[in-house]
Structure 1
């Protein structure tokens, strides 16, 4: 069961800023930590945003492992955006490249990578007006999708978005 108080969702969250939330997550003593980040990292005004993103993500994972060595860590792919959002912000075209890097990082760090792309292939009406964020109907699909990655007897203890 997902409890709202176990969800940490901060507007503008990046992998770097998420590192600051690890103590808050650790206090909840989760068995599973789900991390959904990336679209804001794509837009960071740095020379190599993908490199920074993956380095900060690795630091985030390391800190979670240090603070919660028994927790199973799951990272989700960076979610796609609509064609219109991509036209407004061309850097969103890099999402597949970020996901490739994130998937490799998950292998290196021996954590679970969850590809969310099938949700968007099956459903087109998930986006809010900005074409980046989601309507409420996305979240039950998201939860159903990630439930496939845990034992049916486990609870979903924490989600970071």
Structure 2
């Protein structure tokens, strides 16, 4: 009798275990089906947004890192890096006055995009050159070869150049140099140079409108820095000018 009851008990246990196994299997199956049929989350838009922000902020972040690293090179209040090192990632665009940065070996060729006698309507090629260099900062130095134009035309054409650069190199920080004053001997040959101060005010207003930097370095100029033509500058002027640009852009 006892053996019969034991067999009954064992059979009940086996049935119970089998029942638990069946229930467990059913639950797992339901959970699996639920997982498979659950609508997947579309993350593509989020990824696109992150990538767009990364692209837009990349140069700003690089510039901030560069500014932070700059502190490591300050000794007794002076930057120990060479001008060429500081202007890495910078492009100075302009005419023959600008070209001398490379001619006098003040900056590397990769930091200078300039051409003797260039006019506003010839700058598109330089913009493409600058775009390929992918700079973080751009300095512009134009105007001397277009000074004969009336002020409205002058500003309209300069504005077009700045807007093209903003479109072509959207993440670059732009600074516009004011035209330098010329000596009397240059005024005698070209009376339109007398308008430089007036045109510079118009350039400054344009920079405010387009939200780009404006830099007037005329206070740096001394008679001994001028070449005989009264327009261009000798080699010793360029490091002084570059130092000021470096300070303004926190290079």
* Short-chain TM bin: 0.7 to 0.9
1:1-150 equivalences in 2 (<5 Å):
1=85, 2=87, 3-44=108-149, 48=150, 50-120=151-221, 123-150=222-249
Write out per-residue CA displacement over residues 49-96 of structure 1, whole angstroms, 9 at most, x where no aligned residue. x22221111111111111111100000001110111112221110000
Q: Which consecutive unaligned segments of at least 5 residues does structure 2 have?
A: 1-84, 88-107
1:159 aligned residue = none
Q: Deviations over 1:105-157 (max 9, x none)?
A: 0000000000111112xx22111111111111111111011111122xx3xxx
Residues 19 and 59 in structure 1, CA contact (< 8 A), matched pair in contact too: no
- Taking only aligned residues, the RMSD between alpha carbons, in angstroms, comes to 1.3
Question: TM-score, normalised on structure 2?
Answer: 0.56
Query: Matched residues in 1 for 2:153 and 2:171: separation?
Result: 27
Give the SS at the match of 1:132: coil
Alpha-carbon distance between aligned partners in 1 of 2:178 and 2:231, rounded to the nearest angstrom:
14
| Structure with the higher helix share, 1 or 2 | 2
> How many residues of Structure 1 are paired with residues of Structure 2 in the alignment?
146
Q: Which blocks of at least 5 consecutive residues in structure 1 are unaligned? A: 155-161
CA distance in 2, matches of 1:16, 1:74: 20
TM-score (norm 1): 0.85
Shift of 1:5: 2.5
